[in-house]
């Protein structure tokens, strides 16, 4: 969970020709499957897709991440670049000590990942629904760990396979070195 505080701000409204003061406000944000699901329901497109988000989509995702009740729209309209960057750092943080050796894993799937796909993974892996409130990167790591741990171990070849591989390796070396053995 991330807590953001916007300091009090005063600016001049050109259209109404008056000074406006925006009160200081503190909100709590949660980058989770729940917030992802809310955003996708609003925009009807995958959040985790490769397309860049517009400013409007980014601000709306921040709104979907907000746990604090009754936050004014002015709060979202007045987010500074540094606060948006702080939120982006939070969203991109791994939130786990688990890491994967990318060479050992299978090639990446081209499947479009949406909230419903992630909910399916939770159900298929028997992961409790409370985890939908975890940081999304941590949840995706848990799903990946469960998938890897539930795979059967790689089959070891029998004695014949070992001898056959060794014979092929010896033959290629003989050919490469131009010898008879």
Q: What is the pLDDT of residues 76-103, one digit of tens each?
A: 888 889 999 999 999 999 999 988 877 5
d(CA 74, CA 85): 18
Please determine, for residue 106, whether its predicted confidence score (pLDDT) is greater than 70: no
Binned at pLDDT 50, 70 and 90, residue 108 comes out as: low
pLDDT for residue 107: 60
Which positions ≥6 away from 7 have C-beta within 8 Å? 24
DSSP string covering 43-100? H-S-TTSSSPPPHHHHHHHHHHHB-SSS--HHHHHT--HHHHHHHHHHHH---SS---
Q: What is the pLDDT of residues 34-93, one digit of tens each?
A: 999 999 999 999 999 888 999 999 999 999 999 999 998 878 888 889 999 999 999 999
Binned at pLDDT 50, 70 and 90, residue 160 comes out as: confident
Please determine, for residue 175, whether its predicted confidence score (pLDDT) is greater than 70: yes
Q: Averaged over 15-42, what is the pLDDT?
A: 92
Binned at pLDDT 50, 70 and 90, residue 14 comes out as: confident
**HSE, side-chain direction, 13 A CA sphere, residue 156:** 2
pTM: 0.75
d(CA 94, CA 131): 15
- CA distance from start to end of the chain: 66
């Amino acid at each position: 969970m991330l807590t953001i505080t916007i300091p009090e701000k005063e600016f001049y409204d050109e259209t109404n020709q008056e000074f406006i003061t925006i009160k200081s406000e503190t909100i709590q944000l949660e980058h989770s499957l729940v917030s992802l699901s809310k955003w996708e329901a609003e925009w009807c497109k995958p959040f985790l897709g490769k397309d860049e988000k517009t400013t409007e989509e980014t601000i709306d995702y921040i709104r979907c991440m907000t746990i604090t009740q009754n936050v004014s729209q002015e709060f979202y309209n007045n987010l500074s670049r540094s606060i948006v960057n702080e939120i982006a750092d939070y969203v991109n943080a791994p939130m786990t000590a688990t890491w994967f050796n990318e060479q050992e894993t299978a090639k990446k799937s081209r499947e479009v990942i949406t909230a419903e796909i992630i909910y399916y993974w939770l159900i298929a892996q028997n992961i409790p629904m409370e985890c939908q409130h975890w940081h999304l990167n941590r949840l995706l790591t848990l799903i990946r760990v469960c998938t890897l741990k539930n795979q059967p171990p790689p089959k070891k070849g029998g004695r014949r396979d070992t001898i056959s591989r060794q014979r092929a390796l010896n033959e290629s070396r003989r050919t490469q070195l131009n010898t008879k053995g």
